[in-house]
Structure 1
């Protein structure tokens, strides 16, 4: 099939586009290549994707309504996997306008492109951050999520509501995927695992918020991509007349890990103890995430399986290879 993958130079977008290309699909990837984090890292991902003869890249901002509409019209995609977004909980506290432009207006432009060009299924990235502080554990997609604690979370919840509206009004099949702390090779430099690895190799302290009394449902990127690829092949099928073709699923390991235990995995993988700097909880952070993936298992017969220790080991191996680092010879 012919796919559009937005955010193709991003972490999850890169892995997803690579997987689809390996399966023989035609993939058009778009990204605006912004400098929220290293553009060189994004270009390195694209360099690998361009080795696939069935991949094409267009530098395009999803906020550009006219050019995006032209792309949809010219390409006539069968499926769209929307992974472009302005990420980062803390960054949203300082740059709210950017989140509105990208995560709200940009997503509306994607919905319009799908609506006007008969796209068979839109799968889009949501986030575990929509659960906020007040949901019972483990997080279920049946829970009420109306108390986000960051603007980033609010925009992701807004995406879910917008997608449902388009499914209801225009019968556009949409599936939202609430990702839980995705990590792995080619990961984002603003994420904790990346920061911890770099700091430990450099012999610098790592910042541990809330004195380490928080936990995350860390989910390896290959497991996330497996879920994305399987779910895109399963457009929602309404069971009742008039029901909207819309669905939501969690993609998480289903096993929260304490932050200090994650740090220990990094120390083990590197072979070096971290210098720890304990700090209070930051605005926008939640204390725990924990995915209930029963609905996902029922729908696609798959649940994430990669243990954190193994995933962290693979990340550290990639990091050392990509940056030419060793514990003895850290780069500047």
Structure 2
């Protein structure tokens, strides 16, 4: 099976360093946010100059660059939203990840040839929802992380849209795009990029009744290949460059070898970062207390994520040399 038939491996980049790490580890595409309109405002994120450099670097390595515009947008913010999107478009971004459907409609008219990917914040929970997003101008849809395997397969088979699946990283205790917890208790809206993660805090008795373990579907790679899933997405724009490099490296190997993770690889992923292990409860329809977990001291002590230097490989180039008698010599870069 050629690599082109494999799902795209989509990696997070909360900083320019993390973007380079994703490329070095073998990501097929990287997603990152600018200084506004993205759902991870606590990340370092990218300035306008960073965005241009990031897109050029990605394209030099044959990696696609997606930019997040995945918060809710008010009418007074639309001019700034559109201006930021136009800058990304002119810089050569491959697609925008958008959450606000009204803003998406504006983009469809203003930048009709710019691909739009529906954010997980759009909450596509069924085939009808995915079809509605496609009809609304989105070429790619992210089914909710709370769906089971058969739901995902049905959406891929029947929606007619590209399908992107979260396979690794943090889970929201609510349905993606539906949580108001942070907004209500702290005035920081997750749907505006400012989630304070109050679900990670203990209750009055010192228990953690709302903290979910991280998602890990590394064992399910064959399922995604067999069902023609278009993109496998790793969450983690608040994580370090080293985290991105190590996690992406594991999934790159699994995809290239077209297999699920073994016990050793699962242990390696847990050592990189976990909250008392991982969960695949939603995917397997085993929704119970075993899905809950916190980041313990033991988890921190066994962490293998350090500060190793990450080097990008040389950019591959091909030269074409043409020499004919009586004609000038031609040397071209391909």
Q: Do both proteins adopt the same fold according to a TM-score greater than 0.5, normalized to the shorter chain? A: no
